[in-house]
Structure 1
Amino acid sequence: MSQKPDEDRAIDEVVSRLSERFPTVSPEHIEAVVDEELHKFDGGRVRDFVPVLVERAAKKRLKAEGAAVDVPTDAAAASVSATEPVDEPLELDPMELERRSRESGLLLGDLGGGPN
C-alpha cells in the first residue's frame, strides 16, 4: 500500500471510518476507492497529510454515489442518550478534528468574514 507503517495504519482507519459512514456500500468498494485515491499520491515526498487527503477525496466520491449516515465518533457516544448530560467531553479522532476544522474554517480564523 504505502511506504510507512503509520500511513498504512491511518489508511486502514480511513477505510474503517468510511465503512461506518457508508454502511450500504460494500467494504470492498470502499477499499477500492480509498486505494485509487491513495495511488494519486504515489511518488509524493511529503506523506504526512496523505491519509487526510485520501479520506476527504474518498468521502466526496462515496457521497456522490449514495447517502451517508451519521455515526458516533466514539463507542461511548452511542450509549449516551441525547437527554443525558455528559460529564466529560468525548475524545474525537485527530483526523476527524482535522476534517471538522477544515470544514468550519476555524483554523483559518475566517479572516475576511466579519464586518469591522
Structure 2
Amino acid sequence: MAHDEEQELNAVLERLRQRFTGIDPGAIEATLRSVHQRFEGNPIRDYVPLLVERATTSELNRTAAG
C-alpha cells in the first residue's frame, strides 16, 4: 500500500472514531481494515480511501442502529 493511501486511511479512521463515539475504536479500525481489504489488487488506487470511508460508514451505521 502506498504511503499516501495509508495516511489517508488514518485520517478516515480518525474521522470515523470522532463520529462513532459509541463504538469501540478497535472495532472501528477492524471494520475499516476489513473493508480496505476488499479493494486489494485493484490497480486504480486514487479513490480507495473515499470508497473505504463510505463502506465503513455504512457498516458502522448498521452496527450503531442494531
TM-score range, shorter chain: over 0.9
Q: Report the Cα distance in structure 2 between the residues aligned to 1:44 and 1:57, rounded to whole angstroms.
A: 16
Which residue, out of 46, 54, 57, partners 2:55?
57
Task: Name stretches of at least 5 consecutive residues in structure 2 with no aligned partner.
Answer: none
Q: What letter corresponds to residue 15 of structure 1 in structure 2?
A: L
Greater Rg by CA: 1
How many Å separate the matches in 1 of 2:44 and 2:57? 22
CA distance in 2, matches of 1:66, 1:4: 31
Find the counterpart in structure 2 of residue 43 from structure 1. Answer: 41
1:1-116 equivalent positions in 2, closer than 5 A = 3-66=1-64
User: Which consecutive residues of structure 1, in runs of 5 or more, have no partner in the other structure?
Assistant: 68-116
Taking structure 1 as the reference length, the TM-score comes to: 0.55
Matches of 1:24 and 1:37, distance apart in 2: 20
CA distance in 2, matches of 1:54, 1:37: 6
Q: CA RMSD in A?
A: 0.8
Which has the bigger relative contact order, CA under 8 A and spacing at least 6? Answer: 2
TM-score normalised by the chain length of structure 2: 0.95
Moved over 6 A (4+): none
3-state secondary structure, aligned to 1:66:
helix
Q: CA deviation at 1:54?
A: 0.2
Matched AA of 1:33: T
Partners of 1:15 and 1:61 in 2: CA distance: 14
